[in-house]
Amino acid sequence: MYNVRKVTDDLYWVGANDHRLHLFENIYPIPRGVSYNSYLLLDEKTVLFDTVDWGACRQYLLNIEHVLDGRPLDYLVINHMEPDHAACIEEVLLRYPDVVVISTEKAFLMMTQYGFEVGENKIQVAEGDTMDFGKHKVVFVFAPMVHWPETMVTFDTTNGVLFSADAFGSFGALDGKLFNDEVDFDRDWLDDARRYFTNIVGKYGPHVQAVLEKAGTIDIKILCPLHGPVWRTDLGYLLNKYDLWSRYEPEDKAVMIAYASMYGNTESAAQVLASELCERGVTNVVVYDVSTTDVSYLISEAFRVSHIVLASVTYNLEIYPKMLDFLNQMKSLNLQKRTIGIIENGSWAPQSGELMSKFMDDMKLMDVLGEEVSLASSLNDVSYRELREMADAIAEQINGKK
Ligand code: FEO
């Protein structure tokens, strides 16, 4: 059975939801599922924008057939050819062999690499090219590295719809609710939108800034991303989040305490610090065990907060592996501009503090607090005093900036 939603009078969402996939890109947990969005425009010409993941192809084809209602499919615009959006190109071509595929030179090259053969029925567009589908005129705008180098976005100048590829997307299945004003985004979607952005596109902040700059020059009315809700109200809310994330500016004056603990003593120090911070009025505090929290969630929180406290045992004279994985991901994704607190633990040769501090020195604009805490197996009077001094320093920074 078809399952579609109307976006405007002549534009339909024909995508699909996926609750069967457990790991997006075989790495990111998606307990709320994911949607693959595709849109079909019924103008003098019929135009399909992107396809969906192979696992959702059957539903997708039923949706297209229903909306076309016997009309031919004239064009297929591929804004982004990553397989979660391009895997069904050949299936579309099999059913609609006269369709003309519109995309970038790089995308056509990469389609060939993946074996998505589109033949000669194609139009290769350049930055700023326009096309007329009848009532609707569109302009193609390149968006390299948001998320892959071949990516473009398509702006419908007639009704202000921006087909934004991966940009402005989110993990999470739609489950019927297509529009941002049909959900409580701040409560139910923001964390997954941030986790999606920071882990997948976070590394490419300057490229996202370039797209935001281009977006600032056009009058966008509706944002149609390839994942998650369609935005038709309060676009500034999401644009502002993207601006912060892509400039690596924290969203909140808040503290994340990430701990790596073998027998509970480093965990205990993390909890004591959280209480000391709250005693000082800093209540926007979150505590995470790096051993049991998927690193994609840690990354999302690290992008949200202003202060990160790293509390790690020493393991084989190194940083505990799960903590090191978190640090490597932060560095790989180019996170910067954070204040860092360091808590080390070691029963005979504590090293993790110095190593974590050096690691932060190799990252951009990470400010390591002078107040460091060193535990010999567990908190004692000396290390408890150091912990309180760290709480004082963080509270002074956060409360002082209020
Ligand atoms: Fe949703 Fe970059 O693919």
pLDDT digit string, tens, across residues 8-66:
999 999 999 999 999 999 999 999 999 999 999 999 999 999 999 999 999 999 999 99
pLDDT digits (tens, 9 = 90+) for 192-222: 999 999 999 999 999 999 999 998 899 999 9
The domains found in the chain, sorted by start residue, are 5-246 (3.60.15.10), 255-395 (3.40.50.360)
How far, in Å, is the centroid of ligand 1 from the Cα of 50?
11
pTM of the complete model: 0.97
pLDDT(399) > 80? yes
37 close to 162: Cβ distance less than 8 angstroms:
no
Cβ 80 under 6 angstroms from ligand 1: yes
In tens, the pLDDT along 227-240 reads 999 999 999 999 99
Q: Is the CB of 355 under 6 A from ligand 1?
A: no
**Among candidates 72, 96, 122, 91, which has minimal Cα distance to 16?**
91
Q: Which band of pLDDT confidence, cut at 50, 70 and 90, is reported for residue 380?
A: very high
| Alpha carbon of 94 to ligand 1 centroid (Å) | 23
d(CA 63, CA 211): 31
Whether residue 85 has its Cβ less than 6 Å from ligand 1: yes
First and final CA of the chain: distance in angstroms?
A: 54
pLDDT value of position 402: 41
Q: State the Cα–Cα distance between residues 102 and 124, nearest whole angstrom.
A: 6
